[in-house]
Copies of this chain bind each other. A is one copy, B any other.
Amino acid sequence: MRFPDVVLRLPDWVAAFLPDPDRAFPSAEDRMDLAVELARLNVEHGTGGPFGAGVFERESGRLLSLGVNLVVPARCSSAHAEIVAIAIAQEVLGHYDLGSTPAPTYELVASTEPCAMCLGAVYWSGVRGLVCGARDEDARAVGFDEGPKPPDWVQSLERRGIAVLQDVLRDRARAVLVQYRDAGGPLYNARQG
């Protein structure tokens, strides 16, 4: 009796989309622009849900990894954009802890605030910052379920040394969620008992 491996692989279109590896993303808006564009292209290509994320060096703005929602194509309910981006970053660095060395430090940039699962993943990842675009209520407004998060989830991250920045390009990030809903995309996490 053997079990299959689980493989998370970015869609083929990502390679053509990727910026010059030397390009830096200096501001939070520059980084969020990439995350939102990933979300938009994931919808446009029909390769998953309307969510994108990236892991960046906080100081230099260099892109370490990225992720898009792969739940449907990867047949994996945990393959949210944040989980994918963190896992690829750790594979690139060869370590399960993105905070294992004092420098550089890393931040996760997510086109929508993390669901309950991804919030937990952020605690364990070793990132030192979380930058969010659309709000939980924006995701809920189009029918996605963010799950039960502690009401003080922002403070829970900051108490652990993870700085949080919200509402970066929120309107653009929200527009991708609306575009997805209006196109009739599956709302796969919407079961409510």
Measured CB to CB, the residues of A under 8 A from B are: 1-10, 14-15, 18-21, 65-66, 71-72, 74-79, 83-84, 86-88, 90-97, 99, 115-121, 123-126, 145, 147-150, 153, 156, 159-162, 188-189, 191-193
A15 proximity list for chain B (CB < 8 A)? 1-2
Question: Given A4-B91, A18-B1, A96-B71, do A189 and B150 touch, yes or no (CB 8 Å)?
Answer: no
A19–B18 alpha-carbon span in the complex (Å): 45
Judge whether B123 and A120 touch: CB under 8 Å: no
Q: Which chain B positions have C-beta within 8 A of A76?
A: 87, 90-91, 96
CA–CA, A145 and B21, complex, Å: 36
Copies in the complex: 2
A126 to chain B, nearest CB (A): 7
Query: Which one of B14, B66, B71, B94 lies within 8 Å of A75 (CB-CB)?
Result: B94
Whether the Cβ atoms of A8 and B6 lie closer than 8 Å is yes
Q: B193–A161 contact, CB under 8 A?
A: yes
Task: Give the complex CA separation of A76 and B176 in angstroms.
Answer: 29
Output the nearest chain B residue to A91 by Cβ-Cβ distance.
B4
> Do B65 and A77 touch across chains, with their CB atoms under 8 A apart?
no
